[in-house]
Amino acid sequence: MNKFIVFTAFILSFSIFSFSQISQSRKDSLIENSESPVDTIRLNALKQLTWESRFTEPLEGFEYAFDALSLAEDLNRLEDMATIHNFIGVIATKINSLDKAKVHILKAYRISDSLNFQREKAYALNNLGEIYYQTGKPDSAINQLNGSIELFKEINDLNGLAYAYNQMGMAQRKLKKYDEAFKFHNLCLEIRIKLDHKDFVAKTLLHMGVDLLEKGSYPEAREYFEKIDKSRFEERPYFSLAYHYILVGKTYLGEKNDNMAIQYFKDAYRLAQKSELFPELRDAAKLLSDIYEAQQFHKTALFYLNMYKTWDDSVKNSDLVAEYKQIELRKAFEQKYKFLEYKMKKDLESKELKLFWNRVLISGFFGFSLLLLIFLIILVKKSRIIAKQNKLLLLQKEDIESKNTELNAQNLQISEQNKAISQQRDELAIANATKDKFFAIIAHDLRGPVGNLTAFFNLIIDSYQDKIDPKLMEFFLVVNASVQQTYTLLENLLTWSQLQNGSIPYNPLKNNLFTTVDNNINLLSAKSNEKNISVVNTMPKEVILKFDTYMLDTVIRNLLSNAIKFTNSGGTISFSSSKKGNFIELKISDTGIGISKSEIDKLYRIDVRHKTKEGTSGEKGTGLGLILCKEFMEKHGGTISVESVQGKGSTFIISLPLDE
């Protein structure tokens, strides 16, 4: 039930507080209050902004939290400081920076304990339990949760108690203590029914069903699954109706009722496919494959096994993207955390310095006033004229000293700001270099093994075509296609990462454009001949241009490969060129299936997740080829564009500047 643990961690969302979406008008009102001249109004607004931004804008919430913490320290509001430290811990947990989360939650606990502030102390223990649960220490989590449960009971906080019971149930299930897990989830259910929290009632019933399912009490588990109000399910992984059907199917599978299990798994597969829920598609396909294999329906089992591998790849890709986003968010958080820590330290030093100078100025003022009074008395006695002149000179001197002090303070502030900006720039450069190295290492280290797999399968297919069982050969062909697609993806990924970090040199030389195109046509002739596609080069043979051979070969090869992929058997692909102003336009036209307007708008964008379309013979794409083409053309000072009509074909146009 690993996926259910992931789901539970998401549902708890690293906090025991309930989530409610605030409207923009409410947020604007809070922002206005956060600038109020009244300290208490400003502090309460900053606290609210911190908590209500924790999911939607965690980094923004983090800034609000540090401003609130600084203000609470100035006002010596210890209870507010405990609450804010808890808030910071929850946000850090959300971003998966668990070490910093633990530091702030422990601060919240110590402050609350010293004040006997039971409510915030209970929340701190509950949040510590969540951190220990996430780091794979359920025994430590249980110790913390026992403390929070007792405190919530003592102050009669039902909402907090429900969350603590739910987390305790999850920790007990992690230790395979299913009866204990069910007991705590049942206590949680009673409270949530009493509070009329319908969504949480549905989720708690699901937890109780899983407790019984993992225990092996299949009919009882199914009874709890069927109690859930189906209208409460959401169309997202691990709390969808499709996931519910998978769980019910598992109860029948546990009772050896394969027919009912198959019915539910197929319903789950259909619903998941409709909503594009990759985890449920993967799990349903694997369960169906295992059942059919056990029943010796090998062909059907193989079909679902192939589907399982396809959806498993999709889940892994989605997980990789999500993990990368989480890493980027955590890096941004670490940078902001360092900056805010530095800012708080400087603010504290500035306040202490200001207090010191205030004392010095007050003492100096009284001393100076006494001396001035004596001096003025003496001067008045000697001469009113001399007294007036000396007084004027004294005022001028004070004005100059004041301006010098202001200039020195401004210079110090500018110096500190420049230092902070320089540090942020260096950290950003390191983060970008790490990202480029990350892509390059993945692509480079995996290319060799995947290339070996491609060579291995090609050897089997070419040498043992007539000696292997046709069904097994068909399986080899499917796997070979998947491996070749993966190899192409790695090639493109490595090329793209090299291009980003500047390791691909741009070396334009004079070359014959016709010959370059003809070489690539010959290189891909096996693919075009396999699909009975005619490739024609009608370009003039004397077109000489200055271009980088490696980059232009990559562009032409990608565009020709795509044209072959999306052209039906018996179709035609043609190359032509013409002069347009100071550019030579090279056109690659096909009679394929064409591209929709919405797809064209997304072709060259790296920030959009591409859902690659299968070719006319089921070929797979990577989504990186056209992005590489665009960047290579920009290196040449040229462009790439496309004209397409769905059902009639596409024309890709690349323009190269003439050598002046």
Domain ranges of the chain: 1-175, 416-503, 505-657
What's residue 479's pLDDT?
A: 74
CB 171 within 8 A of CB 133: yes
Report d(CA 45, CA 256) in Å as an integer. Answer: 58
Please count the CA atoms within 13 angstroms of the CA of 330 that sit on its side-chain side.
15
What's residue 417's pLDDT?
A: 77
Q: Identity (one letter) of the amino acid at 256? A: K
Tell me the pLDDT tens digit for each residue of 344-402: 555 545 444 444 434 544 354 455 456 556 556 666 677 677 667 767 777 777 767 77
CB 646 within 8 A of CB 593: yes
What's residue 535's pLDDT?
A: 95
CB 202 within 8 A of CB 232: yes
In this model, does residue 481 exceed pLDDT 70?
no
Tell me the pLDDT tens digit for each residue of 96-147: 888 888 899 999 999 999 999 999 999 999 999 999 998 899 999 999 999 9
Structure tokens, 605:
């964008």
Q: Which residue has the tokens 């997980």?
A: 319
Q: Identity (one letter) of the amino acid at 45? A: A
In this model, does residue 275 exceed pLDDT 50?
yes
Q: Which residue has the tokens 């090609």?
A: 458
In this model, does residue 591 exceed pLDDT 90?
yes
Average pLDDT over residues 315-331: 72
Burial class (CB in 10 A: 0-12, 13-18, 19+), 194: exposed
497/212: higher pLDDT: 212
Strand order in the sheet with 639-645: 534-537, 572-580, 583-590, 649-657, 639-645
550/251: higher pLDDT: 251
Q: Is 116 left (phi over 0), alpha (psi -120 to 50) or beta?
A: left
Q: For the structural domain made of 505-657, what CATH number should be given?
A: 3.30.565.10
Domain 1-175: homologous superfamily in CATH: Tetratricopeptide repeat domain (1.25.40.10)
What's residue 300's pLDDT?
A: 95
Average pLDDT over residues 472-493: 66
Question: What pLDDT band is residue 12 in, cutting at 50, 70 and 90?
Answer: very low
**Sequence-ordered list of residues with C-beta below 8 angstroms from that of 66, at least 6 positions apart, any chain:** 88, 340, 343, 344
DSSP string of 91-117? HHHHTT-HHHHHHHHHHHHHHHHHHT-
pTM of the full structure: 0.49
List the Cα angle 197/202/206 in 5-degree steps: 140
Pick the CATH number of 416-503 from 1.10.287.130, 1.10.569.10, 3.40.50.300, 3.40.50.2000: 1.10.287.130
Report d(CA 88, CA 533) in Å as an integer. Answer: 62
Strand pairing report for 583-590 and 572-580: antiparallel
Report d(CA 421, CA 425) in Å as an integer. Answer: 6
